[in-house]
Amino acid sequence: MEPATQVHALDQESNLQPFGEQANALTTRQHRPGHSYGFLRLEFERQQREELEKLESKRKLIEEMEEKQKSDKAALERMQQEVESQRKETEIVQRQIRKQEESLKRRSFHIESRLKDLLAEKERFEEERLREQQEMELQKKRQEEERFLRVKEELQRLQELNHSEKAEKTQIFEELDRLKREKDEQCAKLELEKKRLEEQEKGSRSCSWPIWRSSFGRSRR
């Protein structure tokens, strides 16, 4: 039933009702629009709370992803520092090896000058030492290459993760904009509904007041 039809039907019923029942009907008509507006307002507040809770959840998710990114970055920096430290240790070992080589050469010179019979043994010693040195350097080189590959792979993984997080952040911001637009639209609709109900309430008061006065005058006579 349309609002105007409801008002007309209530006005017709008021002609047949006693004064007290007419007053109750008038009070009921006056409170119906307010009741509808209150229900819409509560429903809008409930929806708004749900949207705010969703936004808060997404904000926490963004903070967690940022913390994870910081942690991964710190881990990568520690790994890079370890690689740098190992490189310095390798340089120290190489300097020590060079010093040992120089010392051995000096010793060999004195040994050759004093003990020619130890020359063959010295040569075998040098060959063994060089072989071990080459193996050690080759092993260290392989280890450094493996560490470099791991660092490279970790860096690539972090870059891909960062790209994925940026895409997800963009999606979240777009969702926030959409929710804001929906909220603004709901506010506008609620405001229009409020004005319509207020105008309807004013119209119902103006229609029922002359009938109420006429009935009240007849009852007094």
- The number of domains in the chain is 1
Residue 182 has pLDDT above 80, yes or no: yes
Between these two residues, 114 and 76, which has the higher pLDDT value? 76
Q: What is the pLDDT of residues 145-179, one digit of tens each?
A: 999 999 899 889 888 888 888 888 888 889 888 99
This prediction has a pTM of 0.27
Tokens of 204: 């119902």
Task: Give the CA diameter of the chain.
Answer: 153
Range of the domain at 87: 3-220
Q: How confident is the model at residue 31 (pLDDT cuts 50, 70, 90)?
A: very low
Please enumerate in sequence order all residues whose Cβ is within 8 A of that of 133, keeping only pairs 6 or more positions apart, or say none. 97
22 in Cβ contact with 14 (< 8 Å): yes
Residues in the chain, how many?
Answer: 221
- Are 215 and 22 in contact by the 8 Å Cβ rule? The answer is yes
What is the structure's pLDDT at 202?
82
pLDDT in tens, 77-127: 999 999 898 888 889 998 999 888 888 888 777 766 777 888 887 788 889
